[in-house]
Structure 1
Amino acid sequence: MEITFRQLIRGLSIGLFTNTLMMAQSTQKSILNHHIMENHSIHYRNTQINGLNLFYREAGPSDAPTILLLHGYPTSSHMFRNLIPILSTKYHVIAPDLPGFGYSDAPDHQQFSYTFDNLANTMQAFVDKLGMKRFAVYIFDYGAPVGLRLAMNNPEKITGIISQNGNAYEEGLSKEWNPIQKYWKDPSENNRLALKDFVSKEATYFQYHHGVSDVSLIAPEAYTLDQKFLDRSGNIEIQLDLVKDYRTNVALYPKFHEYFRKHQPKLLLVWGNKDPYFLPEGAEAYKKDIPNARLKFYNTGHFALETHVMEIGTEILEFMKTLPQ
């Protein structure tokens, strides 16, 4: 069939328009993907707080509701490495390393007071410097007494609390605390020395693996990185100071309970039910003071994020939808 010159021009025009449209769509998609990558990338930052360098991870849209993730012993914000990408799809996530942990400064224990009051004061200064007006807080292990102090002192800032094996009740303390409680009652040098194995590689390995049904899910870099920091010169004294001061957290439990009853914060409990340190009874006890708390147990140990990060991440995303902005 003979093609006229006009038909040829029309075909070329349509083809050119189609190619231009496809290129524009491709460019738009590329820009969108870049924006998404920017929002979901984890940024590794440092800030100066009271003369200390504090390291923190930040991800997600800066104008979205904020979640503050507070790690426990003996880890750092590294424990949230798999959770942050899940939460930052919709939320602004900030995860600092406490003084003496991870990549934050760890001054000698004679130059810095390693107490939970002081850790909380440092986190208060961190929150203030970053201009965090409203946020949900994720508390785990040592992060619980730090985060609950923040909550008591700033009830107007707290939109909700996520407690992952973050204890606040005496019934949650297992028999593993017996040697530590002995040190609380008699803080002698002998009782202090008896706890030095608390920071050993065997103890760290135990914390990660006890109660885990499939240990192949435990990433070796998690506990080996923790041990690298624990093995730093002078760190054992830092950790023993904090172990000694943990008794102040137990003494504060009634104040925490008073805060719960008065303010009734939205609460999600996600708990490894084989935790050797913080028993399921400690999770259930929260409901005495916050009856509407949501409680979810997982068949795992202390570091539940190592084995159940997708399940816990999904629970948090659903919980965050219910919080005030």
Structure 2
Amino acid sequence: MHHLTTPQILALANKVVSVEDSENLLCANLSGQLRYANISACDKLGYSLSDMLDKCIADYSPNYTDAFWSQHCERTIANGSDQVYTYHQNCKGKRYPVVITSVPHTVDETSEQLICSTVKDAQDSLRYKRMLETVGVSSRTGSFDYNLTDQSILVSDNLLAIMGTDNPESLKPSVIVDRLGREEVSRWNAEMIHFITGYHRMDEQFLMRVAGDQQATIRVVIWSVMEQGKVSSLVGQYEVVDEERKERMVSLEENQRRHIIKALRYTNGRVTGPNGAGKLLDINGKTLFARMKKLRINREDYAQR
């Protein structure tokens, strides 16, 4: 298969130039073979262009099954565009949620049908932010948003940490039963049937396998989202319950985030210097800034009210 020529790439670029924020661009044919990736997309995934052109969709998007990709292609061609949520995986194995907007494009000289996708960080999307808002900051555990139409799932970092996995697919309601004890499965399945038949809200506790193959009591709260009289998605949260003290547990990352915020409030927001949070936490100022960025700590989080 020959690489796309410069004129063909320019024609492709003109096709997607109207798509908003087309920073990361990936184009594949109907079999999922990558045919083009711009520099930004290569940098994000950590591969060179030549490496990318040897890859298929499943190489950097593990959740894209053949059926999922085929359905996405069909909708894109039939409707002129399609949008899906999934996860990408970079060269180091790190997964991150993305929202993909695709348009069809035919290479004139060869009549090859391409699906051209612009990729954005799903953590900046309204759907992801709403998912996180389902749990209060002071008691945040782990949350998820499962779309029944396209079978896509978004999972908070806290929930991945609690369950000890980097694969969001393993946390879909139909799969997570593998973490339940035998006596709990029938109760879980009965609750799932209620969701299928209409609006339902579940607030139950289950004994479940979590990180480190430990057994823990998990409070599961899930509710239906209705659209046009049908259940379109399930939104919910998982909370680890300490049976002895009945305390709400948080991930190590969330605990670290709270500790840094507490230090910043103590230093009135100063990060560096002899009176800064870096000194208080015994950490280099530049390292602390990087950690704050990773943990999404903003001024609003530590500003004194």
TM-score when normalising by structure 2: 0.26
TM-score when normalising by structure 1: 0.25
Question: Whose strand proportion is higher, 1 or 2?
Answer: 2
Question: Whose helix proportion is higher, 1 or 2?
Answer: 1
Q: Which has the larger radius of gyration?
A: 1
Higher RCO, Cα 8 Å, sep 6+ = 1
